[in-house]
Structure 1
Amino acid sequence: MIKNLLGKATLCGTLLLAGTAMLSAQKNGSSELPLDPNVRTGKLENGLTYYVRHNEEPKDRASFYIVQNVGAILENDDQNGLAHFLEHMAFNGTENFPGKGVLNYLEKYGVAFGRNINAYTNVDETVYNLSNIPTSNENLLDSALLVLHDWSNYLSLEGEEIDSERGVIREEWRTRRSGGMRAYLEQSKVIYKGSKYAKRDVIGSLDVINNFDHKVIRDFYHDWYRTDLQAIIVVGDIDAEKFEQKIKEMFAHIPAVENPKERVYYDVPGNKEAIVGIITDPEVSNYKFDIFYKHKATPFKEKNLQYYRNSIIENLHSSILGNRLNELLQKGNAPFINAFGAYYNRARKMDVYHNSVTLKEDNLLGGIETFLKEIERANKHGVVATELERAKTEMLSRVEKQYKDRNKQNNDRLVRGYTRHYLVNEPAPGIEFEFEAMKKLLPGITAEEVNAFSKKWMTKENIIITFTAPEKEGVELPSEEQLLAVVDKVKKAELKPYVDKVITEPLIAETPKAGNVSKEAKLDAFEATEWTLANGAKVVVKKTDFKENEIRMQAFSTGGNSLYAVEDLASAEMAGGFIANFGLGKFDQTSLQKLLTGKSVRVAPYISELSEGFNGNSSVKDFETMLQLLHMYFVAPRFDNDAFTALKGRYKAYVANMGTDVNKAFRDSVSTTTTDHHPRTILFNTKMIESLDLETMKRVYQERFVDASDFTFVFVGNIDIAKAKPMIETYIGSIKDIDREENWKDNGVDYPEKDTYNHFSRAMETPKTTIHIDLHGDIKYTRENRIMMNVVSELLDKRYTDVIREQEGGTYGVGVRAYVDKFPREEYNLIVRFDTDPAKADKLKGIVYDEIQALFTKGIKEDDLVEAKKNFVKEYQENLRKNGYWINAINRYYRYDESVMSVEDYEKMINSISKEKVEKFAKKYFTKPGKVEVVMSPKQ
């Protein structure tokens, strides 16, 4: 017998109406929220839950998930790390897919491991996914469902595969053991003191990983990975009713576990006196203060309308507090680097009100005090009605944008909502319900009610305080007593209420005098229109229906920071990011953000090595605002000395201790070695930040964005071209024209002339060797060469996964990337990078080179090539339904003279790539390429 939790799709309208009626009677806060009426859900007799929904984004694709209500929290001490180990074993043999069968089968259809096939484990849950499965092949869909079936109850867990995977897990442990991760794990022990949560870190104990008996992991699997703790979720361009029946037929026979162990939800004990933890690590790079107020989480069964309304209030408060903290950061001597305050669920049975601040080294206690005063100000005096109304407007605007895109919701986004619904009964009523809910609930939420929440959160008991810092000579860290004293001092301080200052004037006081379109052309390959305006600006507009409520924008012009001397380079590189934080015209950044409340719009300038321009996006209704912001960035950029000083000071504090991070040290070594220590290689460090100069930024910015004549502006999305044209003529056509033609400059930054080896050692807490190999040389820039280089990259990625990760157990993963550049010179480079055990480094480095040579000495595997080609075609099909792809494709057309191809032409070109063709290509470019090798090893 199957218990139906929700009936057929014909009930959708009834449920939505019932939900609306429930919202109209808000006093009944105990009312249960409906589940999204578009999803079919039920529970089989064996306890397995399922969710199935038809959805058409991406088109002709579906996502398959199995959600296990099981995580590291359920491990015994001798099983510490086995929940995560089992996640790996799901890809190492099942009843119907022995060995690497899951990956081998799916990759034949272009479903790539890592990108489309993946999983995650945390303390309370484990989730496996197969995403973007093509729906045109019924057998493939059935097989994807069969994979979930096997993951549910039929992992092989063969001894040889278990032992082989130990090495991969060890290397994942090694890769993840950064200073930041160690500090996080130590902080968790303080936050969860006295609870089992304090003992579990997911990846577990190396002693257990290296030595557990096979029976221990098999027992853990059969104890916990069972139907009453599992949900199957399938969302995509499928027949939902048909798939519901398939799930019933395929999963109903799986036996329920007899006398199952209780799935316990662990408490975190309270504490009368504050618990303080001071955590230091040699490789931590920032000073951080956190204060948590622990609260009982809402029981799963009580997540009703009142809970939903409370969640809205919590989010409103976090938004208002975040805005106040950001406002503090805009002033000349910003008291800290960044900060936030939020109420959220931290463990299954524990919520926290969490306030966190990243501090400046030279004023640790002062920064904490300033931060806590802002938190306390909000607590004592509450929020101001005007800022609450802005927060409401902003929230409603976000939900409205999602509502307008309700028919274009991404499969995996929908799955995440159903996952939380299954695991913790988090409301998932559907965006239609949520939009109606927001419209009805928000007007009734008062400032007094929001203030009451804050007072309830900031209790006198159940307080946890942590302070995290690098181990550094000459810096006196605050003691436990000093931290408690500053918290107490702020509690007693006399604080003035927050004053909400708002400029009520419009962004543009007078509508600028419009220019006009002087020439129109059709870009047939892109199904786009090109306008040349009277001021010389080119504008390209492409209408799409991929998103109902999205318009994307790019603007670009050649030149960039290549035109500036070395002494100006840092300021030129950082100018775009800084000026985006200065505001526009008479509006500083804080006033501008208040002015844009409720608008879904973003415009950001950039200056890169060879070009400058803007990136932006907006909702359909805010398209004109996006154009206004773009116009202002040309005609009225703001150069705010206070904001510059504040941001520079924050950056300086942020980079002050980055040298303690071994990964940063390695990246810097790669940068300087691959550019042959060219003086234009600017590293992101204290010296670079100190060299930043506002006047230089102003000069560079004004020179780069002095006119529109050499810019190309591209708009892609659900744009009404007839309505857009006069707005574009007004806001872009009115920008002045000095009719200049510029190009970038080749400053001779290039690889070393000879093969270069930079091997160095460094003190590190967790010994590892990091290897970076960069092979490079001259190549003609063509679409075919670019694709062929990507084919080589894919084939090597596959080989390194098989040999270095799986056979040798030598690394968590080998990163392989390939590029073919046209500017400033035509060249390619192939980059291979990975972490490993120092004892294995030389052997694995040798395998990297051997596999590259084997591409043409031994030849490639036909099956590997077929998989790579299938993946390329599949990804191309998906890309053609993304606004982001088209806007970049149009960019490439103007900058690289590269048009777009139809799926049919692209598939034909990919299918023409033969084994012999790849081998010939590899031989040509990798027989004797240029080489840069950087290796960082631990000091003995």
Structure 2
Amino acid sequence: MLRFLRSPLLASFALVTLAPALPVHAQVAPRPVQTAEDPWLYKGSDLVHDEEWKFGRLSNGVRYAVRKNGVPPGQVSVRVRIDAGSLNEQDSERGFAHLLEHLSFRGSTFVPDGESKRIWQRLGVTFGSDSNASTTFTETVYKLDLPTATAAGLDESFKILTGMLSAPAITQASLDAERPVVLAEAREQPGAQERMQDAMLGLMFAGQPVANRKPIGTTAALTAATPAAVKAFHDRWYRPDRAVVIVIGDMEPAVLETLVQKHFATWKADGPNPPSPDFGKPSAEGNPVAASIVEPAVPPLAMMAIVRPWTVFSDTVIFNQKRMIDLVAIRIINRRLESRARSGGSFVGAGADLSDVARSANVTTVNVMPVGADWETALRDVRGVIADAQTTAPGQPEIDRELAEIESSMKQRISTAPVEAGAKLADDLVEAVDINETVTTPEASYDIFKAAVAAKMFTPQTVQAAAKRVFEGTAVRALVNTHTPDPQLMTKVTAALQADVVANGGKRRALGNVSFAQLPKLGTPGKMVSRTPLLPELEIEKVVFANGVNLLMRKDSSEVGKVYVNVRFGRGLNDLPARPSPGWAGEMALVAGGVGKLGQEELDALIGKRQIGFDFDVAGDAFRFNGQTNKEDLPDQLRLFAAKLVAPAWDPNPVIRAKTAVLSGYAGLSSSPDAVLGRDLEKLLHSGDPRWGIADRQTIEATTPASFRKLWEPLLATGPIEVEVFGDMDSDATIKAVAETFGALKPRPASKTPVPVVAFPAHADKPVVRTHSGKADQAAAVIAWPTGAGSAGITESRKLEVLAAIFRDRMIDQLRSQAGISYSPNVASQWPLGMESGGKLIALGMVPPDKTEFFFKLARGIAADLIAKPVDADELNRALTPIKQMLIRQSSGNMFWMRLVEGGAFDPARVAAVETLARDVATTSPAEVQALAQKYLRPDRDWTMVVVPGPDAQAGG
């Protein structure tokens, strides 16, 4: 299974992608098509087998795959896939596949109700992340990542899983307990986005079951569900011959295989395997070609879809050869669209995607976010770019650029394959099974790719033909979202879809050969003043240069081929003014503004075929450039970051684009309780300080390229620099590279601006009230207590994590599992190291509007109980063990250690605290938990907030 790079688009569009897992064919030494005697995954495929996987089939029909993998050490990941999802439901069963997933986790004939969660917690499993499940249109997948797996723990876990699948406790009591949780999950879906999704599914798959078979189901069907009806669904589809068991981890395959055989061989089917439902095929007959909605909470959008029948019946050579060319064509179109958007075109972002959806259709989608409300011009311009690609062949340099990026990605995958996480490999195999594909090795994928290039499969003519092919199909359909009603909208959408367009690729600017030599010069390499061990046991060193730059580095090749780079400069949020400012646009527009004479187009060309990243974020006490690279590209990675500080470019278009995108979706920040919390909560918890939360509309509207530069230019030029380089690198070469880049900079003055005070809001008897315009049955409740901040209290902050975990587990049990009024309550402790205050312990939940007081009563009751008496040993163990296991797993990666020591060059307390991490967590006692609760969970200091439906909320959801 080969994965291709995907073309970047604006953040608000996420990523416009090319395709999911793509297997391709090697032109050299092709294998014969697999026979029934070969491993079951490869039947009908001529791809090279990944011999690390051992496949088998039990006599009852269960198929399995096992593999040894030591990333992270000690962990075993289990995936059990049932070949049944929401498309297997009858009309009266809509939502049953998902409901059954929930019921299976509650208990079985082997394990009492709710006990599996507690058993797994004692084994170090974090509920919701290490143990989880998902239901889609076509499958239900149960997931377990068991840290530090032992023979006894695995045996117990397999017993639980087998019971969940073969004999779940589908009783009236369990149904009455879990049905409200599922209904709460449905209720908590954002209304505007849900309606948008419904409209898209209904249009794209008109006439097919997937158009109205969302996994969440319907309230009517879920409310009417009986134990007998749910059991009938289970008995029909939960069968050994529809199950695939995948086990991968730090154990010998023979041991894992024995476990599968021991526990799953006794599973017996009830009656013959029913035929899978007919998912239908796209048809133009009698189905709509256009749809329109009016959702002010969603940015204006035009979407075009070209649908074709789903044809991935076997993972063959010819299928993949054609698909590869199609995807390269789409990459080129996406790059051209992105170039137009960056230069200030009629759309903020646009991109095409080619995908197979729910075994129902192969779909080419085109999404367009217009500038303002003029979707017609934006759609016409995007169609013009596509038409240009169809009528004029691309130049070979355009094609070669895409191939170079693909090759770079594939080489990186080969180098990092030894440290690919077992859970990721398990998920990849589940995906391959679901979409009728296979998996192969990274080396085999690269050989396939090289053979395809050598065979000249990617020519201007073949790519042009592909650009035509991917926009042809059974039906072409379009959907438009606007913010204001228009009685003629449907007519306009239909006309826009059917209108002839003139091929308009715009002026294609030839970039030529962009090189790192074109970056600004940095000066004479700096001198190393000192090189000292920082944490000898971890082989972390500190290097100081004459200009004041500090380097923290760790040479560790356990993550083969990966080098993490983090550059901290300035004081982050502490440097931003405590008043409205263009600081909000930094993460969206600063990097895109360019470096020296190179704009974003040139930078893309510069790093696209290299393993170089360029991200920017704002921490509490530093601004950060970060990226993942490798040993060979590390010097240029550092050069790029340093050049940005020395000679930032100030292209106005990224600022304008960021402003347009945020304003376009600003109404959505009022469209649900969750959205309102995202907009206002952090700002309110910092007493209205605008450095937190999302900027208000007036601040965004007032931001200009000039005001953006006025704020950010001095911030890039001031404040100390700390460079962190952790991973598979050479220490001496790294010191030399830093000396030639950051070490060559002029000494930077420290900021003299006083750090603004951070204040937690005062206690009040009544909660702060905000309203939303979404579903009338949605609300949110928040309660928070002030804690501490700064590196002097790191030990206490770690023990607060234990308190938060206990609080969270009780909230889940009482608010979700028992009361059934919230699907995803959460409790978290936040302790900012780089600030003098601002820490908090916060609990929140999405609840019905009439249950906010119930939430506060419950949360305060838990807090009072934690204050009144120590937790018992088992409860503490069930909180502590998952935290300890999470730390053990994370500690196998360099990013973990880098985040622990970052900032340590100027704050030695952070470094000293690394050595106490394990002790701080593991020695937490019931008395300490109680003492922390008494210190911080004081009823006279809590702060509360509710988000309730406003007058414009939509009744009935």
Relative to the length of structure 1, the TM-score reads 0.92
- Aligned in 2, Cα 1:779/1:245: closer, same or farther, shift over 3 Å? closer
Letter of the aligned partner of 2:713 in structure 1? Q
**2:891 equivalent to 1:880:** yes
Asked whether the 8 Å contact 2:384–2:503 carries over to 1, the reply is no
Residues 804-813 or 647-656, more deviating:
647-656
Asked whether the 8 Å contact 2:522–2:745 carries over to 1, the reply is no
Q: Which position in structure 1 is the counterpart of 2:8?
A: none
Deviations 1:358-401 (A, max 9, x none): 22333221111112211222222243211110101101111110
- Aligned in 2, Cα 1:483/1:277: closer, same or farther, shift over 3 Å? closer
Deviations 1:502-543 (A, max 9, x none): 132423346843222122111134412221112221112111
- Aligned in 2, Cα 1:393/1:580: closer, same or farther, shift over 3 Å? same
Letter of the aligned partner of 2:556 in structure 1? T
**2:101 equivalent to 1:87:** yes
Deviations 1:842-891 (A, max 9, x none): 22321111011110224423211011111121111112111211111121
Deviations 1:713-746 (A, max 9, x none): 11011011122222221112211224x3336633
Q: 1:62 aligns with which of 70, 76, 89?
A: 76
- Aligned in 2, Cα 1:856/1:627: closer, same or farther, shift over 3 Å? same
**2:568 equivalent to 1:556:** yes
Asked whether the 8 Å contact 1:291–1:354 carries over to 2, the reply is yes
Letter of the aligned partner of 1:298 in structure 2? T
Which structure 2 residue ranges, 5 or more long, are not aligned? 1-23, 35-43, 952-957
Asked whether the 8 Å contact 1:39–1:52 carries over to 2, the reply is yes
Q: Please show how residues 208-247 of structure 1 align to structure 2 within 5 Å.
A: 208-247=221-260
CA shift, 1:627, in A, is 1.4
Q: Which position in structure 1 is the counterpart of 2:7?
A: none
Q: Please show how residues 785-800 of structure 1 align to structure 2 within 5 Å.
A: 785-800=796-811
Residues 213-222 or 418-427, more deviating:
418-427
**2:62 equivalent to 1:23:** no
Letter of the aligned partner of 1:362 in structure 2? A
Q: Which position in structure 1 is the counterpart of 2:267?
A: 254
Secondary structure at the residue paired with 1:337? strand
Q: Which position in structure 2 is the counterpart of 1:536?
A: 548
**2:212 equivalent to 1:199:** yes
Relative to the length of structure 2, the TM-score reads 0.90
Deviations 1:138-189 (A, max 9, x none): 1011222223322331212122011111111111111014211221022211
Asked whether the 8 Å contact 1:772–1:831 carries over to 2, the reply is yes
- Aligned in 2, Cα 1:660/1:260: closer, same or farther, shift over 3 Å? closer
Asked whether the 8 Å contact 1:65–1:148 carries over to 2, the reply is no
Q: 1:728 aligns with which of 725, 738, 759?
A: 738
- Aligned in 2, Cα 1:414/1:606: closer, same or farther, shift over 3 Å? closer
CA shift, 1:678, in A, is 4.4
- Aligned in 2, Cα 1:111/1:605: closer, same or farther, shift over 3 Å? closer
CA shift, 1:319, in A, is 2.1
CA shift, 1:892, in A, is 4.7
Q: Which position in structure 2 is the counterpart of 1:131?
A: 145
Q: Which position in structure 2 is the counterpart of 1:640?
A: 651
Asked whether the 8 Å contact 1:572–1:607 carries over to 2, the reply is no
Q: Please show how residues 294-693 of structure 1 align to structure 2 within 5 Å.
A: 294-301=307-314, 303-331=315-343, 333-443=344-454, 444-445=456-457, 446-459=459-472, 461-470=474-483, 472=484, 476=486, 479-489=489-499, 491-495=500-504, 499-509=508-518, 512-525=523-536, 526-560=538-572, 562-563=574-575, 565=577, 569-608=580-619, 610-655=621-666, 658-678=669-689, 683-693=694-704
Secondary structure at the residue paired with 2:593? coil
Letter of the aligned partner of 1:127 in structure 2? V
**2:908 equivalent to 1:897:** yes
CA shift, 1:459, in A, is 2.4
- Number of aligned residue pairs: 912
Q: Which position in structure 2 is the counterpart of 1:10?
A: none
Q: Separation in 2 of the partners of 1:306 and 1:745?
A: 66
Residues 269-278 or 402-411, more deviating:
269-278
CA shift, 1:901, in A, is 8.2
**2:744 equivalent to 1:741:** no
- Aligned in 2, Cα 1:366/1:685: closer, same or farther, shift over 3 Å? farther
Deviations 1:475-520 (A, max 9, x none): 647623322322333x342546763511324233468432221221
Q: Which position in structure 2 is the counterpart of 1:285?
A: 298
Asked whether the 8 Å contact 2:831–2:840 carries over to 1, the reply is yes
Q: Which position in structure 2 is the counterpart of 1:4?
A: none
- Aligned in 2, Cα 1:561/1:95: closer, same or farther, shift over 3 Å? closer
Deviations 1:779-801 (A, max 9, x none): 78422210121111100111011
Asked whether the 8 Å contact 1:196–1:266 carries over to 2, the reply is yes
CA shift, 1:281, in A, is 5.0
Asked whether the 8 Å contact 2:584–2:694 carries over to 1, the reply is no
Letter of the aligned partner of 1:838 in structure 2? P
Secondary structure at the residue paired with 1:23? coil
Secondary structure at the residue paired with 1:602? coil
Q: 1:98 aligns with which of 112, 119, 127?
A: 112
- Aligned in 2, Cα 1:837/1:577: closer, same or farther, shift over 3 Å? closer
Letter of the aligned partner of 2:142 in structure 1? Y
Residues 492-501 or 361-370, more deviating:
492-501
Q: Separation in 1 of the partners of 2:658 and 2:86?
A: 41
Q: Separation in 2 of the partners of 1:321 and 1:327?
A: 10
Letter of the aligned partner of 1:735 in structure 2? L
Q: Separation in 2 of the partners of 1:876 and 1:901?
A: 17
Q: Separation in 1 of the partners of 2:555 and 2:277?
A: 53
RMSD of aligned residue pairs (Cα, Å): 2.7
Q: Please show how residues 149-164 of structure 1 align to structure 2 within 5 Å.
A: 149-164=162-177
CA shift, 1:660, in A, is 4.2
Q: Separation in 2 of the partners of 1:867 and 1:762?
A: 37
Residues 905-914 or 923-932, more deviating:
905-914
**2:92 equivalent to 1:78:** yes
Q: 2:768 aligns with which of 758, 765, 770?
A: 758
Q: Separation in 2 of the partners of 1:757 and 1:88?
A: 33
Secondary structure at the residue paired with 2:831? strand
CA shift, 1:917, in A, is 2.2
Q: Which position in structure 1 is the counterpart of 2:41?
A: none
Letter of the aligned partner of 2:166 in structure 1? N
Q: Separation in 2 of the partners of 1:655 and 1:536?
A: 42
Residues 592-601 or 269-278, more deviating:
269-278
Q: 2:839 aligns with which of 825, 828, 832?
A: 828
Sequence identity percentage: 18
Q: 2:193 aligns with which of 162, 177, 180?
A: 180
Q: Which position in structure 2 is the counterpart of 1:122?
A: 136
Q: Separation in 2 of the partners of 1:808 and 1:187?
A: 34
Q: Which position in structure 2 is the counterpart of 1:5?
A: none
Which structure 1 residue ranges, 5 or more long, are not aligned? 1-18
Q: 1:49 aligns with which of 35, 55, 63?
A: 63
CA shift, 1:285, in A, is 2.2
Letter of the aligned partner of 1:809 in structure 2? G
Residues 413-422 or 87-96, more deviating:
413-422
- Aligned in 2, Cα 1:608/1:334: closer, same or farther, shift over 3 Å? farther
- Aligned in 2, Cα 1:896/1:469: closer, same or farther, shift over 3 Å? farther
CA shift, 1:905, in A, is 5.9
Q: Separation in 2 of the partners of 1:901 and 1:124?
A: 51
Asked whether the 8 Å contact 2:808–2:827 carries over to 1, the reply is yes
Q: Which position in structure 1 is the counterpart of 2:12?
A: none
Q: Which position in structure 2 is the counterpart of 1:772?
A: 782
Asked whether the 8 Å contact 1:89–1:157 carries over to 2, the reply is yes
Asked whether the 8 Å contact 1:274–1:463 carries over to 2, the reply is no
Residues 451-460 or 108-117, more deviating:
451-460
- Aligned in 2, Cα 1:272/1:257: closer, same or farther, shift over 3 Å? same
Letter of the aligned partner of 1:222 in structure 2? D
